[in-house]
Amino acid sequence: MKKVTILALHLGYGGIENAITTLANTLISKYEVEILSVYRLYSDPVYELDPRVNIKYISSVKPNKKEMIYYLKKKNFSMFFKGLGKSIKTGFVKYVKTPLVLRKIDTDVIITTRTIHNFLASKFVKDSIRKIAWEHNHHNNNKKYIKSLINSCKGVNNLVLVSNELSLFYQKYLGNKVVYIPNCLDKFPNKSSKLDSNNLIAIGRLSKEKGFDDLLKIFKKVSTKYPDWKLNIVGDGMEKDNLLNLAKELRLGDKVVFCGYQNKDFINELLLNSSVYLMVSHTESFGLVLIEAMSYGVPCVAYTSAQGANEIIDDGNDGYLISNRDEQSMIDKIELLINDKKLRIKLGKNARKKSKNYSSEVVLQKWSKLINKRK
Asked if the model's pLDDT at residue 249 lies above 60, the reply is yes
Q: What is the per-residue pLDDT for 184? A: 93
Of 10-24, 54-68, 72-86, least confident by mean pLDDT is 72-86
Q: Mean of the pLDDT values across residues 333-346?
A: 98
Which residue(s) pair with 200 in the sheet?
Answer: 231, 276
* CA atoms in the 13 A half-sphere facing the CB of 3: 12
Q: Are 98 and 120 in contact (CB under 8 A)?
A: yes
Asked if the model's pLDDT at residue 144 lies above 70, the reply is yes
Asked if the model's pLDDT at residue 315 lies above 70, the reply is yes
Asked if the model's pLDDT at residue 328 lies above 90, the reply is yes
Segments of 71-224 assigned E as strands: 109-112, 130-135, 158-161, 178-180, 199-203
Q: What is the per-residue pLDDT for 239? A: 94
Asked if the model's pLDDT at residue 277 lies above 60, the reply is yes
Residue in 129, 141, 143, 136 with CA at minimum distance from that of residue 113: 136
Higher local confidence (pLDDT), 15 or 11: 11
Which whole-number Å values give the CA distances from 75 to 70, 208, 243, in the listed order? 8, 19, 21
Q: Mean of the pLDDT values across residues 266-294?
A: 95
Q: Compute and round to an integer the Cα radius of gyration of the chain.
A: 21
Of 63-77, 160-174, 294-308, 325-339, least confident by mean pLDDT is 63-77
Q: What is the per-residue pLDDT for 263? A: 87
- What is the pLDDT confidence band of residue 77, given thresholds at 50, 70 and 90? low
